Amino acid sequence: MESQPCSRAGFSPTTSRFHTVFSSNITDGSSFLSYLVAAFAAYTSFDLIECVRAATTVNARRLWLATASVSMGLGIWAMHFIAILAVEMPMPIGFDIKVTALSAGLAVFASCVAFSLADNFHKRPILFLAGLVLGGGIALMHYVGMTALRMPAHIYYDPWLFALSVAVAVALSTAALDAISGLPRLMKEYPLWSRLIESAVMGFAIVLMHYTGMFAAFFYPDPAALKAGLFFNSSAMAGAISVIALMIGGLALIAAMFENNRKQARDFTAALINSLPGFFALLDQAGRFTRWNANLATLTGLSNEQLRGLDARAIAVEKDRDVLRTKIGAVFVQGFATLEFGVINQNGEVRAVHWSGRTITYESRQYLLAIGLDMTEARAAEARIQESEDRFRTIFNAVNDGIIVYNVGTDSYIDANPRLCDMFGYTREEFLDLSLSDLLTGVSPHSLEDVAPLLNGSGAIWG
């Protein structure tokens, strides 16, 4: 019975319409190589996701997201391509270049969408959505890639195994993305092992989906089904694609490691800056904030987005803004300046700040390095002390008895109230120039030696 015309791919038809049905055989070495490529791509991409999360600008985030997506997408595609080339079938296999390229693009796009949600993997609905997108992208890449095959046969799939392959991809992709967020917290002391486990799970998601999909496939010979395509030496192409995939992944991994080192240096610098007891800020020549520590954000009540590029005068009270602008200009001319001014926060509260500024050169540009202390509590304490001193002075001056404050060690008067000055007929200034012996005139039953212990508080005189 001759085979009937049919579509190139679909679910299992009635087998009686076909002369021969055969499935594929896959070599063990190629299976292991394809897994290594998938796991390495996952390892590289997950490292790059950390760069996405750490990016401080929109452009940097987009760059790292694109790099991670290309690394993951091409890793998925390379794994599929290597595994397909390793399939042993009694017929030549070719590829439609356009459809093959489309399948790679789908993998990159799915990776991009999933990784763009990386900041919210801790939220279960977002995690499941990302896993669905990534797992679905792996499956879509696989089955679109299968339609790119050019061979004298039709491809049909067992519907249950087809569904299982998609489910495996989605489930394991979700597990791998979940591990990115949860595993590092559980294995803080073993970050390398954490990343290896995450990559291994993601590698299994890609490989198990592919091979489950291949077990679901049945090939029905039909010479009329052969279409034009490119035919390669399978072993040579598998090796070449492996090398190219590993090179791309390796370069991306080196870039990720370099960025992680930079991030660690930035984090260390930020930790030092944030540990300062006062506030720290770096201003450009226009007087705008380019960098600051957490204390400045707390002092002003402004967010990082609000502080970025803000004119420093905007945080000062109205009466101090002109002098602050003058001092900023003086720093760039003289190299150093100090100022105490009022800072008004988001709640309308005014804080007294003592600020010191000096110039530094960074990347061939001059900046103003400002270091300051919040003096509000100190000034409040000074005011309380002064208030206490004023109350004491009021009582001291108002009493009707003469009061004198005497330093026995130096034999000198420290203070005298107005009543005492009136009693002796001296002004306060004149009185403070006298000594104890100057006041002891006439005949007295007591000597200077008798009086001194009393003034010291260590004795008494009886008349």
Same domain, 222 and 88: yes
CA dist., res. 99 & res. 84, Å (int): 15
The mean of the pLDDT values for the chain is 78
Does pLDDT of 68 surpass 70? yes
Whether 346 and 285 map to the same domain: the answer is yes
**Counted domains in the chain:** 3
* Confidence label for 2 from pLDDT (cuts 50, 70 and 90): very low
pTM as predicted: 0.55
Residues 156 and 71 both lie in one domain = yes
What are phi and psi for residue 364, nearest 5 degrees?
Answer: 65, 15
State how far the Cα of 239 lies from the Cα of 259, in Å rounded to an integer. Answer: 30
- 158 inside domain: yes
Percentage of the chain surpassing pLDDT 90? 8
Among 239, 268, 297, the domain-final residue is 268
> What is the predicted pLDDT for the residue at 246?
67
* Same domain (yes/no): 52, 184: yes
Strand partners, 196: none
Weakest-pLDDT range from 77-81, 189-193, 261-265, 451-455: 451-455
Q: What is the mean pLDDT of residues 421-442?
A: 76
User: What gap in Å lies between CA 322 and CA 304, rounded to an integer?
Assistant: 25
Do residues 300 and 429 share a domain?
Answer: no
Classify residue 244: in a domain, yes or no.
yes
Strand order in the sheet with 94-95: 149-150, 94-95, 230-231
Same domain, 202 and 340: no
pLDDT tops 70 at residue 161: yes
Tokens for 66, please give them. 């694109």
Three-class DSSP category at 457: coil
Residue 24 has a pLDDT of 47
pLDDT tens digits along 314-357: 999 989 899 988 998 888 888 888 888 888 888 888 888 888 88
Residue 337 maps to a domain: yes
Look at residue 60 and tell me if it is in a domain: yes
Residue 463 lies in a domain: no
Question: Are 18 and 146 contained in the same domain?
Answer: yes
Integer Cα distance of 346 and 350 in angstroms? 10
More confident residue, 109 or 61: 109
364: in domain? yes
Alpha helices of 148-218 — where are they, by DSSP H?
A: 159-186, 191-215
Instruction: Dig out the tokens for 49 from the structure.
Output: 């996701």
Report the pLDDT value the prediction gives residue 242, as an integer from 0 to 100.
Answer: 63
What's the CATH number where 426 sits?
3.30.450.20
Taking residue 75's Cβ as centre, other Cβ atoms within 10 Å add up to 29
My answer on whether 337 and 430 are in the same domain is no
What's the domain range around 357? 279-377
E strand or H helix at 11: strand 9-11
Are 340 and 223 within one domain? no
Residues 233 and 290 in one domain: no
Query: Considering the domain boundaries, does residue 4 fall inside one?
Result: no
Tell me which residue of 364, 305, 367, 379 sits closest to 331, measured CA to CA: 367
d(CA 135, CA 113): 12
Whole-Å CA distances, 397 to 232, 384, 393: 109, 20, 6
Residue 248 shares a structural domain with residue 318 = no
Same structural domain, 118 and 170: yes
Of the listed ranges 20-34, 116-130, 287-301, the one predicted with least confidence:
20-34
Listed residues 268, 291, 307: the one ending a domain: 268
Q: Is 327 exposed, middle or buried (0-12, 13-18, 19+ CB in 10 A)?
A: buried
Is residue 382 in a domain? Answer: no
Separation CA 269–CA 266 (nearest Å)? 5
